[in-house]
Amino acid sequence: MNNLARSFALLLAGMLVVLSLNACTADELEDAFYTGGKIVYDSFKGGNR
């Protein structure tokens, strides 16, 4: 994993922590992790939709 990917992953993890602390329901938390996972997947696929 290169430095850019590592930095992006750490940033995303930090955002997920903030979202999880602010999530009122399990559904919101699940949506946050799904969205974050999709962003990571898309970024490693090269942005292909």
Taking only the tens place, the pLDDT of each residue in 1-49 is 578 888 888 888 888 777 777 656 667 777 877 888 888 888 777 755 4
User: Which pLDDT does position 8 carry in this prediction?
Assistant: 86
Cα 25 to Cα 3, 16, 32, 36, 48: the distances in Å are 34, 14, 11, 17, 31
Q: Is residue 14, in this structure, part of any structural domain at all? A: yes
User: Which pLDDT does position 44 carry in this prediction?
Assistant: 78
Q: Is residue 12, in this structure, part of any structural domain at all? A: yes
User: Which pLDDT does position 23 carry in this prediction?
Assistant: 59
Q: Is residue 23, in this structure, part of any structural domain at all? A: yes
Under DSSP, the state recorded for 48 is -
- From CA 49, how far away is CA 41, in angstroms rounded? 10
Q: Is residue 49, in this structure, part of any structural domain at all? A: no
Into how many domains does the chain fold?
A: 1
Torsion of CA 43, 2, 6, 9, to 10 degrees: 10
Q: Is residue 28, in this structure, part of any structural domain at all? A: yes
pTM comes to: 0.40
* Enclosing domain of residue 35: 3-44
